[in-house]
Structure 1
Amino acid sequence: MFIGVDLGGTNIAVGIVDDRCRLKLQKSKLTRRQRQPEAIIKDIIELISEVIKDYGITKEEIKAVGIGIPGLFNPDTGEVIQCVNLNWKDVQLKEPMEKAFGIPTFIDNDATLAGLAEYEAGAMKNKKSGVFITLGTGVGGGVIIDGKIHTGFNGVASEIGHMIVGENYYDCNCGRNGCLETFASSTALINYTKKLMKEEKKETIITKIIDENIDKLDGKVIFEAAFKEDEIANQAVDRMVKYLATGIVNIVSVIDPEIFVIGGGLSKAGEFLLDKIRREATKNKYYRTLSIGKIVLAELGNEAGIIGAAMLGKHCINM
């Protein structure tokens, strides 16, 4: 058995996962990220203890603990370098876990681990190489090459959202201009839709859907309007797709994976979104006579974080 921990800005989710990627039991609680790191780490330890007890096994039966974090980490020391959503900087996470349980503990980026879950048990299964792209508040990614997570020299190889794909009208939170997540995240989609509604003064059914309350505008609303052929919504979606496809084509030029798996909140737009991405990526591919890897939807949903974190432990102890 393995423990998977999905540490997010809103929730901490902990689960027991078996060797076949089956999530047997999970528990969660609010992160309450305004607290000090020590308090959050204490909650993680308590949740791990609870799932072990409730499942009726001993800690000796747990082979490893994997933790997915929304940020950067040092793979050698197990230190969290930075998690913007948690206000963490230079926080030791591996050491207190191993001290509490005496179980090998491993850390990686949460989007990377969701990609690992899709490789082990989801849309990427039986593929040698694949790239997971999550379209949420930001844009995250996970790169799998020859069945192994590719994190790079400094552990940032999967930061797909910070690939420069063009010049934008606002800067990314990282301080640079042109990052993919400023074009293709739900935040970017909402921002650009608001910009169009303000500047173009065109009639749009978005106004009706949100009852003229702009605070209700989200990705779901925009795609709902796009399905109904709303001009403003489709203009915003098509811009998002254009830059996302640019990112995909760039990745093909470097990695050339067998498959791209699209997850995150915006992926709920389903085949409507995928068809647009496929067409745009095919139109812009460099090697005209060669096909791009398949572009498909993620399969594991909210369970991917826990399963991927658990499978990180499995991979690491088997290395």
Structure 2
Amino acid sequence: MVEKTTTHDKKYRVGVDLGGTKMLGVTFDEDFAPRGRNRVRSKAQGGKQAGIRKMIDLIQGALDAANVTINQLEGIGVGCPGPVNSESGVVLEMPNLGWKNTPLGEELTKAFGCPVSIINDVDAGIYAEYRFGAAREAHCAIGIFPGTGIGGGCVYQGDIVRSKIGSCMEIGHIPVVEKGALCGCGQQGCLEAVAGRLAISAAAAAAAHRGEAPHLLEAAGTDLSNIRSGVLAASIKAGDKSVERIVRNAAKRIGVATAGLVNLLAPDVIVLGGGLVEALPKLFRQEVEETARNRTMPTYRKSFRVAVAQLGDDATVIGAAAWAAHDIALIGR
């Protein structure tokens, strides 16, 4: 779907959110106002090259929607789920698309003739919140985004925290339960294995099967694919106390992990985002903040605030475009 808007004679950047089920590309002007959008499904037949071709078409569609030519394009930023090497522009692993060690930055540079920045999608999201949203101009901001899994990122003194080999801050894979549930990474007891949406949905489905969540059972049955964030929120609103208890317990586990991050990095802002938080912002903020403050060293208990993300679904594209501009500015120094 392409949405056209008016443009001006400026330099433009494109931000891309490369999701497992959809790709979103947005053309931004120099003030980061959106000028054109394009969204497509990311499931592609034909393997890696077909996926890259689809992404090139997505970006071209976002440019066309903004009436922007390639000559006006200053840079492209791409937010990808999973680990990436930002220095080389390589997607290290993206199982949903079957990508491994994919030189995405190089391919897009060939196609558009401009600098390309490849970063983790949660890094892009928290960078957007740092620049334009809930963590604006923070000294140290940590993003925790519970969804299907639990993503994490950190901006410290204006820079995204990264490792020598690429992205880091895999908060969802902090071990929290010894010999706990098996995680998709192959380990047991990771935070996202016990507090991500899939874990919550499984526990809620079991409650519905036992007759403890009648509203959820009526709305979605016990099929995990139907028990998404909005359905969980509606179930709680309708009075399913067992579902509320399950979600609150998951939020408390995230709060315990947050306390560890506060003790380690002493951030001034913790930003909560993602589908679960968008559906239940008050519940998540309350449980995470209360638990984190109770479990943090006394010195740090009043040194941070917990905020709900402000930029919604556009956070990744905004942050990716802004990080591309950041990289271009560094090149020009």
Q: Which runs of 5+ in 2 are unaligned?
A: 1-11
- Aligned partners of 1:10 and 1:33 also within 8 Å: no
> Which residue number corresponds to residue 97 of structure 1?
108
**In 2, Cα distance between equivalents of 1:204 and 1:302:** 30
| 2:139 is equivalent to residue 120 of structure 1 | no
- Kindly state the Cα deviation for residue 208 of structure 1 after the two structures are TM-superposed: 4.6
- Aligned partners of 1:206 and 1:222 also within 8 Å: no
- Aligned partners of 1:136 and 1:186 also within 8 Å: yes
| 2:30 is equivalent to residue 11 of structure 1 | no
Farther off after superposition, 59-68 or 187-196: 187-196
> Which residue number corresponds to residue 268 of structure 2?
258
> Which residue number corresponds to residue 237 of structure 1?
247
Letter in 2 for 1:217: I
Residues 211, 116 of structure 1: CA spacing in aligned structure 2 closer, same or farther, 3 A cutoff? closer
Residues 218, 57 of structure 1: CA spacing in aligned structure 2 closer, same or farther, 3 A cutoff? closer
> Which residue number corresponds to residue 214 of structure 2?
205
Residues 168, 246 of structure 1: CA spacing in aligned structure 2 closer, same or farther, 3 A cutoff? farther
Q: Deviation per CA, 1:97-149, whole angstroms, max 9, x where unpaired?
A: 11111101110111110111111111111222201111111111121000111
Give runs of aligned pairs for residues 53-64 of structure 1, distance below 5 A. Answer: 53-64=64-75
> Which residue number corresponds to residue 190 of structure 2?
179
TM-score computed with the length of structure 2 as normaliser: 0.88
3-state SS, counterpart of residue 298 of structure 2:
coil
**In 2, Cα distance between equivalents of 1:225 and 1:57:** 45
- Aligned partners of 1:82 and 1:90 also within 8 Å: yes
Letter in 1 for 2:324: G
Give runs of aligned pairs for residues 1-319 of structure 1, distance below 5 A. Answer: 1-167=12-178, 169-197=180-208, 201=210, 203-210=212-219, 212-215=221-224, 216-227=226-237, 230-267=240-277, 268-287=279-298, 290-319=301-330
- Aligned partners of 1:34 and 1:86 also within 8 Å: no
TM-score computed with the length of structure 1 as normaliser: 0.92
Q: Deviation per CA, 1:183-221, whole angstroms, max 9, x where unpaired?
A: 2211111122234455xx463334454264545333333
Cα RMSD between the aligned structures? Answer: 2.0
Q: Deviation per CA, 1:137-185, whole angstroms, max 9, x where unpaired?
A: 1111121000111112222322111111223642111011121111221
**In 1, Cα distance between equivalents of 2:191 and 2:298:** 22
Q: Which has the higher contact order (CA 8 A, sep 6+)?
A: 1
> Which residue number corresponds to residue 4 of structure 2?
none
Residues 245, 213 of structure 1: CA spacing in aligned structure 2 closer, same or farther, 3 A cutoff? closer
Q: Which runs of 5+ in 1 are unaligned?
A: none
Residues 26, 168 of structure 1: CA spacing in aligned structure 2 closer, same or farther, 3 A cutoff? farther
The percentage of aligned residue pairs carrying the same residue is: 28
Letter in 2 for 1:96: E
Farther off after superposition, 20-29 or 299-308: 20-29
